[in-house]
Structure 1
Amino acid sequence: MTPGGWRGAGIGRAAAGLGLIGAPLPLLAAETDCTGPESQVRLLVTVEGVRAAEGLIAVTLYADDPKRFLAKRGALYVGRVPARQGRTRVCIHLPSTGIYGLAVYHDADGDRGFDRNALGLPKEGYGFSNNAPTVFGLPRFGAVRFSVPHSGFETRVTLRYP
């Protein structure tokens, strides 16, 4: 499939080099505000702690498969929307209800890549579903997995900046 399809590239390859490392909100204005291949199931993600209204917020969706989490070509879909300072909302069409995981980053320069310094540490804000901790490295899939029991389910991810 193409990069906009369910198997688009994720932040996995970028996130893998990091080394460190749901609450209700108002419904989005219209279903057309959702990204991804159209379906009957929508997930509403609020990304909090966005430092600036520059660049893009990338939300990478992973299926319930620990082997695919943060793996190259492991993502189901990557949704990108313009960043809004403070809070950015993203709506993603899902293939169905079920168990998923999210990895999010603030692509501040809009280059569609996750920027790292010479040591491989993040230069841009990032976060994971369940606000999984990243103190001792990247989280395992078990820490980020969550259930989407119905369309319109809402969750929050708070970004961490270096």
Structure 2
Amino acid sequence: MKTIPFLLLAFFASAFSSYRAETKLIIDVQNIKEQKGQLRVGLYKPCDNFPTGCKPIANQIVAVKSSSTRVTFTVAPGDYAVALFHDVNDNGEMDKKMFGIPKEPYGFSNNFRPRVSAPKFDDCRVNVEASGKTISIKLI
């Protein structure tokens, strides 16, 4: 008889230990100058060589229809970074000029503005708490 309550307690303890709280990271994208093409948004966990040396944990592609848009990711609380670009010509890639300078509008969380090289993860780090987070990214 004592075994049944113990088994129930063990079951519930294991069920709750594997429970992962989820919340929302909402990204308001501003300064979209051309209402055509797609917005390509990547969400990253801490990694080396951000953003080109690691894969996003999630991504979204959103049709551009106005000068601003909202993108929402469902995430566990923690640290993230966002990199995005406006694929104006809808060719599926970031077009670049000489020396790898982006031709199409782009942006990073914390509105980080790279000067000479791509940002590091810590430059764009956003902490999402259990209550969620809304950030704004203005395209460059």
TM-score by length of 2: 0.77
Distance in 2 between residues matched to 1:131 and 1:151, nearest whole Å: 22
1:86 to 55, 60, 67: 67
Equivalent residue runs for 1:42-81 within 5 Å: 42-65=24-47, 67=48, 69-81=50-62
Amino acid at match of 2:104: E
Per the TM alignment, residue 152 of structure 1 is displaced from its structure 2 partner at its CA by 4.2
Question: Partner of 1:25 in structure 2?
Answer: none
Q: How far off its partner does 1:72 sit?
A: 4.3
Question: Does the residue aligned with 2:68 lie in a helix, a strand or coil?
Answer: strand
Q: Distance in 1 between matches of 2:44 and 2:50?
A: 6
Question: Which portions of structure 1, spanning 4 or more consecutive aligned residues, are displaced by more than 3 angstroms?
Answer: none
CA distance in 2, matches of 1:58, 1:157: 13
In the comparison of the two structures, how many residue pairs are matched?
A: 120
Residue 95 of structure 2 is aligned to residue 107 of structure 1: no
1:53-95 Cα deviation digits (max 9, x unpaired): 1011111100023x1521345211111111133211111222x
Deviations 1:94-148 (A, max 9, x none): 2x11100010100111222111124422110001000012123211111100101
5+ residue gaps, structure 1? 1-38
Larger radius of gyration: 2
Question: Could you tell me how far apart the structure 2 residues matched to 1:151 and 1:112 are?
Answer: 34
Counterpart of 2:104 in structure 1 is 124
Q: Distance in 2 between matches of 1:72 and 1:84?
A: 31
TM-score (norm 1): 0.67
Q: Please say if 1:150 is aligned against 2:130.
A: yes
Q: Distance in 2 between matches of 1:72 and 1:137?
A: 13
Shift of 1:52: 1.2
* RMSD (Å), alpha carbons: 1.8
Instruction: Give the helix-richer structure, 1 or 2.
Output: 2
Q: Give unmatched runs, 5+ long, in structure 2.
A: 1-20
Q: Equivalents in 2 of 1:134, 1:72: separation in Å?
A: 16
What fraction of aligned residue pairs are identical, expressed as a percent? 28
- After the TM superposition, which of the residue ranges 83-92 and 137-146 deviates more from structure 2? 83-92
